[in-house]
Amino acid sequence: MGLVGIATEKILSSFSVFLFLSILLLAVARRISTSVLLFSLQSAVITAEVLATAYQEKLAGVYVVGLLVFAIKVVAIPRAFFLLTKRLKTVRDVKASTTPTQSVFITVAMIYLSYAAVHSYGQAVHVPDDALAAAVSLILTGAFLMVSRKKALMQVLGLLVLENGIFLAALLTTFGMPLVIEIGIFFDILMGLLLMGIFTFRISDTFEHLDVSKLRKLRG
Amino acid sequence: MLLLLPIAIPVLGAGLILCFRNPRVATRAALLLGALEIGALGAVVWQVHVRSELQQGRYLRADGLSSFFLMGIAFISGLVLVYASGYLRHMGEGRFSSPRWFYALVFLFLFTMISVCLSANLGFLWIMMEGTTLASALLVGFYNTEGAVEAGWKYLVVCTVGIAFALFGTIVLYLAAVKAGMSPAAALDWVSLMDAAPRIGLDPHLVKLAFVFVIVGYGTKVGFVPMHSWLPDAHAEAPTPISALLSAVLLNCAMYAVMRYDAIVSRAVGPAFPHTLLLIFGVVSMVVAGLLILVQRNLKRLMAYSSIEHMGIIAIGLGLGGPLGLFGALLHAFNHSVAKSLLFFSAGNVRHHVGTLRMDGIQGISRTMPQTSAALLVGGLAIVGLPPFSLFISEFAILSEAFTQARYFVVILFLVILSVVFGGFAFHFFRMLCGEPDRHVENSRLIPSEYIAMGIAGLSLLFFGARIPYLFGLLLHEAMAVLQ
């Protein structure tokens, strides 16, 4: 086994720790730009895992997926976010409805919950518990970010974290779906983000703020 | 090749319509393309009837179930396009809110919904289902008012999260299939999955997990309680033709996806698990929406909650299973979409002539707008399930199935909620239709396009109530055969 082989082994066995780190840091991040950076780093970790899987399983299609993840989630989306925050001239605070301490505790609880949840499935699908738990806790914390951050942009970011988790789960358990489907899913995500961008502009135009918790005209 | 036609026409059509700056030309082009599209869908439905299945490449397939839903899409989208041609005269000119953008987005929306029904692959189905959200979000926020932007944002975020769960469910089912020894290429194809279902079901945990995620995910788009929060906002704030499309076509398409998964999972792990889940979601949706109907103040929100209630009824029919339950569920999906289109069309007219959708501001419209009121009354009587109309038959079928299976709890809840809904509709409609009109309404006569759309919807409600046409019955039974 060459150096690359050892590196892929290590990436697959121990990179989950960086994912846990990224969601814990997301819990305490106060600024939108910090959160976007963290998301970018998190996606970079996932890119590494995708490439490692491709190398280990010798699947050419998965390399393509890895490049797509890198281009879209590590480069394009964070750039778009930075442009948006600049153009919208919004306050840079994420407007969390929980204090950082509470957020960290909730995130830790979710990580614990993920371990408990995947315990019975991990062995059945021959995937290390850590990796699967990381995927599930990304899904949970993504959902948590969506409900606890009031800024429209942060809701989108939460959605992306959640999607990262689903993507990782698919990668770990099935080495990804067939390539055509995978590309279709990426296309959908991009279009969805484009639309959410359009809507954040419209929200800031019509309401002159980006605080979605103040959107409460429609009730009942 | 035939299957590519109904997908290609709306995509190319959307691009074409964007080239016409003149609203009148754009409207005519849309009507023409709509007619072409209905023709193409009709041809597909007929060919499926003759050959029982059509296949195009690895990703497109149509069988009895798809063709039943395609027929519904063709019928309702035709009505909506005709109604919209008259409706758009009220629309102001905005940068992106002109008729050409409206029609282009409508055709993209139709493209995604037709692709959902034609997809042979569960991954492709997911992509197109997410596509329906994307295509319709801009239509929901079309008016760009505060309410419309809020509804559009909520719709986009809630449905995208919901559908993300469906993606997870899809992946888990794929995992179960691959583990059972299927090749990765076949493990998302629903015919292969149906064939291999007993083998996949040997490890029931993953399949059950998949179904839970899928029913929560696609159930968000169906509008099951408690994932329904987007639905009343989107229906109320969207332009009226879009409300009709959302309620009458989109919800059915999402239900179609649930039916496909239900069929696979039932064969894999036995019908008890998926059917119980469907029954629970159905009963909860029906009860919650039925009670909320009583307290509504806005006419279109009233219709939206009624849609949730009817989706609950369809889910109950599916959950009961059996020949009558399936028959009732499928027939109800069609009947509900016709009745709800008629109601939304009438609500749109009321909004234009009275100027509000708040029901306490609408009084005595039976004198000022007799034709619209008649349509509203017919739609209202039909939607609560009174006998001369078609919804009575489908609800009765579901109810008889529940009696046959001796599920008296479901029967009692079903009947109680139906009477509550009847009371609610009677209360709201009585206040709106009767009484002294408090404002003068000018020129309330229907224009020809409204006459056609509302007339056809109303008459078919009556007609299907009297008897089910022979060909329609055949298609219905072909659809049932796929699910059994």
Mutate one of A195, A196, A210, A211 to test the B interface: name it (highest B CB count within 10 A). A195
Q: At B189, phi and psi to the nearest 5?
A: -85, 125
Beta strands (DSSP E) in chain A are none
* pLDDT tens readout for residues A187-200: 888 888 888 888 88
Distance from the B257 Cα atom to the nearest Cα atom in chain A, whole angstroms: 17
B443-482 tens-digit pLDDT:
778 888 888 999 999 999 999 988 889 999 999 999 999 8
Q: Which of B152, B154, B164 sits opposite A166 (nearest CB)?
A: B164
- The answer to whether residues B249 and B72 touch, using CB atoms and an 8 Å cutoff, is yes
- Give me chain A's average pLDDT, please: 85
- Cβ partners under 8 Å of residue B222, min gap 6: B251, B254, B255, B258, B311, B315
Residue A217's pLDDT is what?
64
Say if residue A220's pLDDT is above 60.
no
Say whether pLDDT at A46 is over 70: yes
Most B CBs within 10 A among A62, A155, A181, A182, hence the mutation to make, goes to: A181
- Cα A192 to the chain's mean position, in Å? 15
Nearest CA to A45 among A29, A26, A27?
A26
Tell me what pLDDT residue A216 has.
64
> What pLDDT sits at residue A183?
84
The answer to whether the CB atoms of B141 and A169 lie below 8 A apart is no
Q: Is B53 on the interface with A (CB under 8 A)?
A: no
Chain B: residue whose CA lies nearest to A142: B161
Short-list B101, B109, B165, B162, CA closest to B132: B109
Beta carbons of A159 and B164 less than 8 Å apart: yes
Is a pLDDT exceeding 60 seen at residue A148? yes
Q: What is the rounded distance in angstroms from the CA atom of residue B404 to the CA atom of residue B473? A: 22
Of A178, A191, A206, the CB nearest to B185: A178
Integer Cα distance of B332 and B310 in angstroms: 8
Helix or strand (DSSP H, E) at A51 = helix A32-57
Q: How far apart are CA B327 and CA B479, in angstroms?
A: 9
CB of A206 closer than 8 Å to CB of B144 = yes
- Interface list for chain A against chain B, based on CB atoms closer than 8 Å: 120-121, 124-125, 139, 143, 146, 152, 155, 159, 162-163, 166, 169-170, 173-174, 177-178, 180-181, 184-185, 187-188, 191-192, 195-196, 198-199, 202-203, 206-207, 212, 215, 217-218, 220
Closest CA to B362 of B418, B429, B317: B429
Q: Are B314 and B329 in contact (CB under 8 A)?
A: yes
Let me know: does B399 contact B459? Beta carbons within 8 Å: no
| Predicted local distance difference test score (pLDDT) of residue B275 | 95
Chain-chain contact of B134 with A195 (C-beta, under 8 angstroms): yes
Query: Residue B136's pLDDT is what?
Result: 92
Rg value, chain A, Cα: 18
Judge whether B124 is closer than 8 Å to chain A, CB to CB: yes
Q: Cβ(B149)–Cβ(B141) under 8 Å?
A: yes
Listed by number, the residues of chain B in 238-257 with a beta carbon closer than 8 Å to a beta carbon of chain A are none
**Contact between residue B335 and residue B443 where contact means Cβ atoms under 8 Å apart:** no
- Rounded Cα distance between B273 and B205, Å, is 11
**Residue A95 dihedral angles phi and psi, to the nearest 5°:** 55, 65
Query: Nearest C-alpha of chain B: how many angstroms from A163?
Result: 7
The interface residues of chain B toward chain A in range 288-307, judged by CB-CB distance below 8 A, are 292, 295-297, 301
Dist. CA B231–CA B357, nearest whole Å: 17
- Residue for token digits 């992106």? B96
Q: How far is B237 from chain A (nearest CA, A)?
A: 9
Q: pLDDT at residue A25 above 70?
A: yes
CB-nearest to A166 from B123, B168, B203 is B168
C-beta of residue A165 within 8 angstroms of C-beta of residue B168: no
pLDDT at A152: 84
Q: If DSSP codes are grouped into helix, strand and coil, which group holds residue B321? A: coil
A44 to chain B, minimum CA–CA distance in Å? 21
Confidence of residue A170 (pLDDT cuts 50, 70, 90): confident
pLDDT at B446: 82
B323: left (phi over 0), alpha (psi -120 to 50) or beta: alpha
d(CA B93, CA B483): 47
For B236, the closest chain A residue by CA position comes to A218
Nearest CB to B153: which of A125, A162, A212?
A212
Please name the helix (run of DSSP H) or strand (run of DSSP E) that holds residue B61, with its range, or none.
strand B60-62
Q: pLDDT below 70 — which residues of chain B?
A: 90-96
Domain spans of chain A, in order of start: 3-214
- Name the one residue in this structure whose structure tokens are 């072909």: B478
A45-75 burial code (b ≥16 CB/10 A, e <16): bbbbbbbbbbbbeebebbebbbebbbebbbe
Dihedral of the alpha carbons of B221, A81, A205, A145, in degrees to the nearest 10? 50
pLDDT in tens, B302-353: 999 999 999 999 999 999 988 999 999 999 999 999 999 999 999 999 988 8
Q: Is B1 in the A-facing interface, judged by CB distances under 8 Å?
A: no
Domain extent listing, chain B: 1-120, 121-270, 271-484
Does B156 reach chain A within 8 Å, measured CB to CB?
yes
Please judge whether B153 and A121 are an interchain contact, meaning their C-beta atoms are less than 8 angstroms apart. Answer: no
- Element spanning A153, H or E: helix A152-174
Q: Tokens 């989208």 sit at which residue?
A: B77
* A71 compared with A89, residue with greater pLDDT: A71
Q: Which tens digits make up the pLDDT trace of A79-119? A: 988 888 888 776 677 777 788 888 899 999 999 999 988 88
Give me the residues paired with residue A93 across strands: A31
Helix (H) or strand (E) holding B12: helix B5-18
Q: What is the dihedral of CA B31, B37, B42, B48, to 10 degrees?
A: -170
Confidence bin at A215 (pLDDT 50/70/90) = confident
pLDDT class of A218 with cuts at 50, 70, 90: low
Of B127, B137, B301, the CB nearest to A184: B127
pLDDT at A203 over 70: yes
The per-residue pLDDT for A130 is 86
A contact test, residue of B125, B142, B157, B190 with most A CBs within 10 A: B157
ipTM of the complex: 0.90
State phi, psi for B221 to the nearest 5 degrees: -75, -30
Among residues B50, B69, B375, the alpha carbon closest in space to that of B240 is found at: B375
- Which pLDDT tens digit goes with each residue over B127-142? 999 999 999 999 998 8
Cβ–Cβ below 8 Å for B171 and A184 = no
Closest Cα in chain A, distance from residue B42 (Å): 28
Structure tokens, B379: 């739609």
d(CA B3, CA B40): 9
Contact call for B127 and A159, based on CB within 8 A: no
CB of B119 less than 8 A from some CB of A? no
Return the structure tokens found at B206. 């993953």
Test B149 with A199 for CB contact under 8 angstroms: yes
Whether the Cβ atoms of residue B70 and residue B60 lie closer than 8 Å to each other: no
For B470, what's the count of Cα atoms within 13 Å in the CB-facing half-sphere? 0
How many A-B residue pairs are in contact by the CB < 8 A criterion?
117
